Amino acid sequence: MSIGTAERPLRVAVVGAGPAGFYTVEHLLRRPDLVVEVDMFDRLPTPYGLVRAGVAPDHQKIKAVTAAFDKVAAHPGFRFYGGVELGKDVTVSDLRTHYHQIVYCTGAQTDRRMGIPGEDLPGSHPATEFVAWYNGHPDYRDCQFDLSQERVAVVGVGNVAVDVARILCRTPEELAVTDIAEHALEALRESRVREVYLLGRRGAAQAAFTNPEIKELGEMQDADISVLPDEVELDPLSRTSLEQTNDRVGLKKVEILQAYARRAPSGKRRRLVVRFLVSPVAVLDEGGAVGGLRLVRNRLVASAAGTIQAQPTEQVEDLTAGLVFRSVGYRGVPLPGVPFDEKWSVVLNEKGRVLDADTKQPLPGEYTAGWIKRGPSGVIGTNKPDAGETVTAMLDDLAAGHTLQPTEPEAAAAERLVHQRQPAYIAYADWLRLNELEIARGRARGAPRAKFTRIDEMLAALGNRGRS
Ligand code: NAP
């Protein structure tokens, strides 16, 4: 009897309940010719990955994508095992015993390093931690950020840096009506931050942020945006590159920034300064904590491959700042028992097929999708075609008879295993209940929800189901 029929469903484990995980499930369950059962695991009790813990709270429209994920989760062939961690509660070997195919969709859980002196001084933090903190990720619930500082420097000019700058510049009233975590709202209410610097190492044309995001920075209720005119002048190298590639979006980005450079301050309480062509070379130590950044001025040069790169000059300046956020990109972490590409910080794979570390040949039945497959780039929707590529590989391999050979492929057997290893796991119905409770809690402050930010709190709200 072939796999994928009512008598013998294709049993798939998806590890990670973020966008890549849900898009993978969606592609799998959409097949009319195949009976599929998917068990989705996440180490957190709550689903949605970075849609919950990464997307900025003042970007609620982006979060609306969760409605599509809930629709996927309503499929009878879908189960959620929240609060179940790979490598702790279940192992790859357990999954191989219970599933025909496994898909790793764990995203990029940590930050890239800048590799400069002083990076770990108190007061220098990865932006990823600040983001997880204000979004109520339980692991970052107790982080402390010294918001009594008047000036903050954010290194990097990607969309995460922009999110961080926006959250630091918003008024408490603007934040209160978002789903920002209660503890972060309280801390930001007391914030004495007056100036936020965003620091780009290349020029305006190379900035990683997108145009809607940079436009939004010019529309803040109580923060003026400021840009230095000579730093956003279009240099010949960038102009040629934009023209040759007919990059209208890039030209528009430079125009927006040049318009900011012409803007006079309007007397708002906070100032957001976007700088270009500067690289931090050291975090300055003042009495054992962050005192600022030493910046070197860069010029733009073309690399041998034709990309435009920053080259340091002799010109150095010090920027005083009491708090530094390093927003230079996310980084994937290895999963226990899964081959890892150290250079790119992704699961070792080819088009979504996990490769054996020694032979570099595909491992039967093991796949990956999303940031842990391709690295931390792109928006949520980018994960849909990415997951599609992986699912195509999965179905081709299934058709060719290349799957794992689980000895206990029945759904009930997997459920018994999870019960035994993590009796306090959260099913999707539990999450939907938590969701309702969060929405009800949020009403009091006019917010879309007030998140539970501790796992114990979530379990208590559900009546400690399964806890002995
Ligand atoms: P990103 O877009 O890759 O930006 C990283 C930034 O850090 C770039 O400006 C990069 O400059 C800079 N950088 C890297 N190494 C550096 C160093 N050693 N010194 C100084 N600067 C350095 O990453 P991200 O902001 O973390 O965002 C990740 C992904 O999520 C992106 O695709 C982003 O668009 C997406 N995202 C989207 C939204 C949204 O749609 N609203 C919100 C958040 C995130 P170079 O360009 O010179 O390397």
Which phi and psi (to 5°) does residue 161 adopt?
Answer: -60, -40
Residue 445 confidence (pLDDT)? 85
Ligand 1 centroid distance, CA of 91 (Å):
33
Among 114, 159, 216, 281, the mutation site with the greatest number of ligand 1 atoms within 8 A of its Cβ is 159
pLDDT digits (tens, 9 = 90+) for 18-72: 999 999 999 999 998 999 999 999 999 999 999 999 999 999 999 999 999 999 9
Which residue ranges have their beta carbon within 6 Å of ligand 1? 114, 155-161, 163, 200-202, 206, 208, 213, 279, 327-330, 376-379
| CA 220/CA 165 separation, integer angstroms | 11
Atom of ligand 1 nearest to the CA of 382: 32
pLDDT tens-digit profile of 316-326?
A: 999 999 999 99
To 10 degrees, the CA torsion angle through 423, 427, 433, 435?
110
pLDDT at 431: 97
Q: How high is the mean pLDDT of the chain?
A: 96
Q: Which atom of ligand 1 is nearest to the CA of 112?
A: 15
Residue 264 has pLDDT above 90, yes or no: yes
- Taking only the tens place, the pLDDT of each residue in 116-154 is 999 999 999 999 999 999 999 999 999 999 999 999 999
**pLDDT surpasses 60 at 182:** yes
Q: How far is the CA of 209 from the centre of ligand 1 (A)?
A: 7
pLDDT for position 193: 98
- CA–centroid distance, 131 to ligand 1, in Å, is 14
| pLDDT tops 50 at residue 468 | no
pLDDT at 204 (0 to 100): 98
- Scan for tokens 């999954």, then name that residue: 95
Q: Which of 202, 214, 300, 379 for mutating ligand 1's site (highest number of atoms within 8 Å of CB)?
A: 379
Give residue 465's pLDDT: 66
pLDDT of residue 229: 97
Supply the angle between the helices 182-189 and 127-134 in degrees, to the nearest 10: 110
Nearest CA to ligand 1 atom 38: 159
- pLDDT given at position 78: 98
With CA atoms as reference, report the closest residue to 225 among 250, 202, 199, 195: 195
- Rounded to whole angstroms, the Cα distance separating 45 from 425 reads 7
Q: What pLDDT was estimated at residue 282?
A: 98
Tally of residues, the chain: 468
* Alpha carbon of 383 to ligand 1 centroid (Å): 17
**291 vs 407: CA distance, rounded Å:** 59
Residue 466 has pLDDT above 80, yes or no: no
Segment 86-114 shows an average pLDDT of: 97
Beta bridge partners of 299: 311
**Mind spelling out the 3-state secondary structure of the chain?**
CCCCCCCCCEEEEEECCCHHHHHHHHHHHCCCCCCEEEEEEECCCCCCCHHHHCCCCCCHHHHCCHHHHHHHHCCCCEEEEECCCECCCECHHHHHHHCCEEEECCCCCEECCCCCCCCCCCCEEEHHHHHHHHCCCHHHCCCCCCCCCCEEEEECCCHHHHHHHHHHHCCHHHHHCCCCCHHHHHHHHCCCCCEEEEECCCCHHHCCCCHHHHHHHCCCCCEEEEECHHHCCCCHHHHHHHHHCCCHHHHHHHHHHHHHHHCCCCCCCEEEEEECCEEEEEEEEECCEEEEEEEEEEEEEECCCCCEEEEEEEEEEEEECCEEEECCCEECCCCCCCCEECCCCEECEECCEEECCCCCCEEEEEEECCHHHHCCCCCHHHHHHHHHHHHHHHHHHHHCCCCCCCCCCCHHHHHHHHHHHCCCCECHHHHHHHHHHHHHHHHCCCCCCCCCCCHHHHHHHCCCCCCC
pLDDT of 464:
77
Average pLDDT of 436-464? 95
The model's pLDDT over 61-73, given as tens digits with 9 standing for 90+, comes to: 999 999 999 999 9
The CA-based diameter of the chain, rounded to the nearest angstrom, is 74
* Nearest CA residue ID for atom 41, ligand 1: 159
Give the distance (Å) from ligand 1 centre to CA of residue 56: 15
Q: What is the pLDDT of residue 444?
A: 86
Check: pTM over 0.85? Answer yes or no.
yes
